[in-house]
Amino acid sequence: AGRGWGHGKGLAFGAIAPQAAATDAFVVPEGYEWSPIIRWGDPILPGGRAFDITRQTPEQQAKQFGYNVDYLDILPADPGDVRPRGKTKRGRRGLLVSNHEYTNAGIMFDDSYDAATRRAIERAAWGLSVVEVTRDREGTPWTYSRLSRFNRRITVDTEFHVDGPAAGSYLMRTVEDPTGTRVRGTLNNCAGGTTPWGTVVSGEENYNANFRVSGKDPRDARYGLQNKATSYGWELDDPRFDGNNPGYEYENHRFGWIVEVDPYEPDEAPVKHTALGRFKHEGANVILSKRGHAVAYMGDDERFDYVYKFVSAERMRPGNSRWARRHNKTLLSSGDLYVARFTGDSPASEIDGSGAVPSDGGFDGTGEWIALVKDGESQVDGMTLEEVLVFTRLAADAVGATKMDRPEDVEPHPLTGRVYVACTNNSDRGKEGKEGATEPNPRNSNRDGHVVEIIEDGGDQTATTFTWNLLLVAGDPSVNDSTYFSGFPADKVSPISCPDNLAFDADGNLWISTDGQPSTIQKCDGLFKVTLDGPRRGNVEQFLSVPRDAETCGPVIDSRDAMVYVNVQHPGEDGTFAAQNSFFPDYLDEGERAPAGAWRGPRPSTIQVYREGAGQRPGHGPGKG
């Protein structure tokens, strides 16, 4: 990048070999080692017991770290020290924030739990956790604090405030909340972002899996909601999960939002921001415009859904006084909402769905941000402001937005302002009755996904026009000739498939974590560094590999400390309780025997990777001295 912040001690590494899909190991490069910071079931609140798979209760789970970890950050002790994630100086005390997207009941419970208890434990394992972490010196591994006034679990029972233009709307009211401003809980918290003012935003993604609806409102179908029993079965326990119950018709409208949590204010209710629209939010990532407006980029993770941008009406106030932070926490409450339209510059005849690069040498073109909401008013014919925000997918359909291949993380580069969109895959592209390949989504049956780079016109994050190109078209180049790495030789990259979460390091490189490689390129998922600048642009180097059946989530790249953090989600999810696929992270060393009666199974965990020898304790994993 060369503009003065490529000064980290750096994370030099030699790319690891891709790991075969059934490998149950967490693999890091030569010269690095790893350990868990915290695992599913570790107690974080007063009264929480040490994890015991045979004695789980809903009450215990609500005092423990939750299940399937997704978004992750470790915020510095002082919110004034928050920087773009690649640059934050984390010091010796921090606040670990993690999403818990969902649960894998099939590997969590033995036969001693009845169905209702299982469901109640599952509900308590969803949501988010905030946990204080400490260490003796920078660049060394963290230990979580079992008791701290900052430790917090947010679950499906935690009260949220609703704000923004749709708060209080008739579309948000239920018999339990006639004000339409207070919602119990958050669901399916997938990816997220850390704001410049030191809060965490988190996306409510596949909430349709938790609700049954009457089927009478055709708008619900656009969100995948159906009048049939859900696989989680929560409608058996709580009437709000079934829209057939009078008074709960609109409960499902109260999910599918971006939520904001202030980890520094443990007693403050988290907020659902209706101004950012309602869809299957993967997450949101906020960058400041030159004039200080908060600009949030967002993806709707569904086949043929859209990329969005929100621009705050107000500007950020500097500093971290209570007054400034209070103001900054309202930035996502009002502003303009846009959806992206991408136009290719090559003739349609050159985009044949094979992924062949068009004759001008790249997948690229221009684009515009089409306003759905501007200056507090709906820009969509026939839809009110509250309808645009509650049924944002329908609003975007109406204005001709570009159907993308499952946009996951949409993340602005903190130095260049360029925006990267991870399109994870779309097996339906080009299928009978479905849209075929377009220049921004150039492969039919797009199994491996691609990454779009957006360059806002004038370098202004609030611009309404942009240019774009594909940074890479993913796959295993040794067996797949439809890959593309910005011209970098395909035989020199690590194979990569199904990009999901994105991050940046202090040298300006992009890092990509993946979700789905075992079923596409038959490799375990992992974390990859991608060079963006210079002659090596497009080079992909694998940094780590996660265990069997797991996806890699929430990467944090700390060049200053030469450390990397990832959340390991759903390890061993295709196993059963009796025949587990993974023993992550509590692997035994060779020749070591598990204590008699000890439970052996996977625990979704937050993992830290550090230079060999940086740990106070040698070896991997907890409980070894």
Residue with tokens 């075969």: 20
Total residues in contact with ligand FEO, by rule CB under 6 A: 6
Collect all residues with Cβ–Cβ distance below 8 Å to 123 and sequence separation of at least 6: 58, 155, 156, 157, 234
- Check residue 352 for interaction with Ca ion (CB under 5 A): no
What mask of x and - would describe binding to ligand FEO in positions 456 to 495, judged by CB under 6 A? Answer: ----------------------------------------
Distance CA 96, CA 38 (A): 10
Min. distance of Cβ 224 from ligand FEO in angstroms? 13
Min. distance of Cβ 203 from ligand FEO in angstroms? 8
Collect all residues with Cβ–Cβ distance below 8 Å to 138 and sequence separation of at least 6: 89, 90, 91, 92, 560, 561
What mask of x and - would describe binding to ligand FEO in positions 187 to 206, judged by CB under 6 A? Answer: ---x--------------x-
Residues 162 to 201: which contact Ca ion by CB under 5 A?
190
Nearer to Ca ion, 364 or 387 (CB): 364
**251: partner contacted, choices ligand FEO, Ca ion, none (Cβ within 5-8 A by kind):** none
**586: partner contacted, choices Ca ion, ligand FEO, none (Cβ within 5-8 A by kind):** none
CA 202 to chain centroid:
8
Contact 437, 417 (CB under 8 A): no
- Check residue 302 for interaction with Ca ion (CB under 5 A): no
Question: What are 579's two structure tokens?
Answer: 């025949």
Contact 357, 364 (CB under 8 A): no
Q: Which of 408, 448, 456, 476 binds ligand FEO (CB under 6 A)?
A: 408
**205: partner contacted, choices ligand FEO, Ca ion, none (Cβ within 5-8 A by kind):** ligand FEO
Distance CA 138, CA 521 (A): 37
Distance CA 594, CA 359 (A): 60
3-state secondary structure of 611: strand
Nearer to Ca ion, 289 or 346 (CB): 346
Residues 271 to 290: which contact ligand FEO by CB under 6 A?
282
Q: Which helix (H) or strand (E) holds 392?
A: helix 392-398
- Check residue 386 for interaction with ligand FEO (CB under 6 A): no
Q: Say how many C-beta atoms besides its own lie within 10 A of residue 90's C-beta.
A: 23
Question: What are 540's two structure tokens?
Answer: 């992909």
Residues 393 to 452: which contact Ca ion by CB under 5 A?
408
Min. distance of Cβ 392 from Ca ion in angstroms? 19
- Check residue 302 for interaction with ligand FEO (CB under 6 A): no
What mask of x and - would describe binding to ligand FEO in positions 89 to 118, judged by CB under 6 A? Answer: ------------x-----------------
Nearer to ligand FEO, 301 or 386 (CB): 301
Collect all residues with Cβ–Cβ distance below 8 Å to 613 and sequence separation of at least 6: none
- Check residue 346 for interaction with Ca ion (CB under 5 A): yes
Distance CA 321, CA 330 (A): 15
Min. distance of Cβ 282 from ligand FEO in angstroms? 5
Contact 517, 21 (CB under 8 A): yes
- Check residue 360 for interaction with Ca ion (CB under 5 A): yes
Q: Which of 42, 122, 132, 500 binds Ca ion (CB under 5 A)?
A: 500
**Kind of pairing, strands 271-273 and 293-300?**
unpaired
Min. distance of Cβ 616 from Ca ion in angstroms? 33
Could you tell me the end-to-end alpha-carbon distance of the chain, in angstroms, rounded to an integer? 42
**345: partner contacted, choices ligand FEO, Ca ion, none (Cβ within 5-8 A by kind):** Ca ion
Nearer to ligand FEO, 519 or 616 (CB): 519
Nearer to Ca ion, 314 or 345 (CB): 345
194 DSSP 8-state letter: E
Nearer to ligand FEO, 301 or 549 (CB): 301
Cα angle 504, 67, 127 (rounded to 5 degrees) comes to 75
**204: partner contacted, choices ligand FEO, Ca ion, none (Cβ within 5-8 A by kind):** none
Q: Which of 515, 525, 573, 586 binds Ca ion (CB under 5 A)?
A: 515
The residues facing 198 across adjacent strands are none
Q: Side-chain half-sphere of 338: how many Cα atoms within 13 Å?
A: 22
Distance CA 400, CA 380 (A): 11
Kindly list the residues in this chain that would bind Ca ion in the complex (CB under 5 A): 190, 345-346, 358, 360, 364, 408, 500, 515
Kindly list the residues in this chain that would bind ligand FEO in the complex (CB under 6 A): 101, 190, 205, 282, 301, 408
